[in-house]
Structure 1
Amino acid sequence: MNSRRPTMRDVAREAGVALKTVSRVVNNETGVSPQTVERVTEVIHRLGFRRNDMASKLRAGRSAASIGLIIEDLGNPFYTTIARGIETVTYPREQFLVTASSEESAERERAILLELCQRRVNGMIIVPTGLDHSFLQHEIDLGLEVVFLDRPGAGISADTVLLDNLAGAMSATEHLLSLGHRRIAVLGHDETIWTMRERHAGYRAALARAEVAYDESLIMLGPLTPDEAQRATAELLDGANPPTAFFACNNRMTVGVLSELRHRQESIDVAGFDPIETATLFSHPVTLVTYDAAELGRRAAHLLVERLEGRRTPQQVVVPTTLVTYGQSAGSNAKRRRRA
Structure 2
Amino acid sequence: MPVTSRRGLLFGTAAIGAGALLTACTSNEPEAEASTTPRDAADDKPGKRVTIGFAGPQADHGWLNAINVQAKQRAESYSDVTFVPTEGSNDTAVQIGQIDTLINKKVDVLVVLPGDGKALTQAGLKAMRAGIPVINLDRVFATPQAYRCWIGGDNYGMGLNAGRYIGEKLKDKPDAKVVELAGIDNLELTRQRTQGFDDALKTYPNIRKVARQAADFTVESGQAKMAQLLQAQKQFDAIWNHDDDQGVGALRAVDQAGRDGFLMVGGAGAKSAMDHIKADDSVLKATVLYPPSMAASAIDLARALGQSKGISGISEAEIPTQIAVFSAVVDRSNIDTYLPTGFN
Scaled by the length of structure 1, the TM-score of the pair is: 0.67
One-letter identity of the residue aligned with 1:266: R
Corresponding position of 2:37:
none
Q: What are the within-5 Å matches in structure 2 for residues 29-178 of structure 1?
A: 66-91=51-76, 92=78, 93-103=80-90, 105-128=91-114, 129-132=116-119, 133-155=121-143, 156-178=146-168
Instruction: Show the counterpart of 2:263.
Output: 269
- Tell me the distance in 2 between the aligned counterparts of 1:231 and 1:242: 18
State the distance in 1 between where 2:58 and 2:240 align.
22
The percentage of counterpart residues that share the same residue type is 17
**1:204-238 CA-partner distances (Å, limit 9, x unpaired):** 111212136765x6121242311111100011111
Q: Distance in 2 between matches of 1:140 and 1:280?
A: 40
Map 1:269-288; keep pairs closer than 5 Å.
269-282=263-276, 283-286=281-284, 287-288=286-287
Q: Which residue of 2 aligns with 1:31?
A: none
- The 1:172/1:214 distance shift into structure 2, 3 A limit, reads same
Higher RCO (CA < 8 A, seq sep 6+): 2
Q: What residue is the counterpart of 2:305 in the other structure? A: 307
Q: 1:138 to 1:172 in 2, by over 3 A?
A: closer
Q: Which amino acid aligns with 1:72?
A: P
What is the match of residue 318 of structure 1? Answer: 324
Whole-Å Cα distance in 1 between the matches of residues 57 and 263 of structure 2? 29
In the aligned structure 1, how far is the partner of 2:88 from the partner of 2:155? 22
Question: Whose radius of gyration is greater, 1 or 2?
Answer: 1
Aligned counterparts of 1:271 and 1:86: Cα–Cα separation in 2: 28
Q: Kindly tell me: are residues 205 and 318 of structure 1, through their superposed partners in 2, closer, same or farther at Cα, counting changes over 3 Å?
A: same
The match for 2:241 is 248
CA distance in 2, matches of 1:94, 1:130: 26
- Distance in 2 of aligned mates of 1:251 and 1:121: 35
Q: 1:252-306: per-residue Cα shift (whole Å, max 9, x none)?
A: 1221211211222322311011111133543314210125422x12221122112
Give the secondary structure class of the aligned counterpart of 2:131: coil
CA offset digits 1:36-80 (Å, max 9, x no partner): xxxxxxxxxxxxxxxxxxxxxxxxxxx965433333341333233
- What value does the CA root-mean-square deviation take over the aligned residues? 2.8
**Residue 184 (str. 1) matches residue 141 (str. 2):** no
Q: 8 Å contact 2:267–2:290 — kept in the other structure? A: no
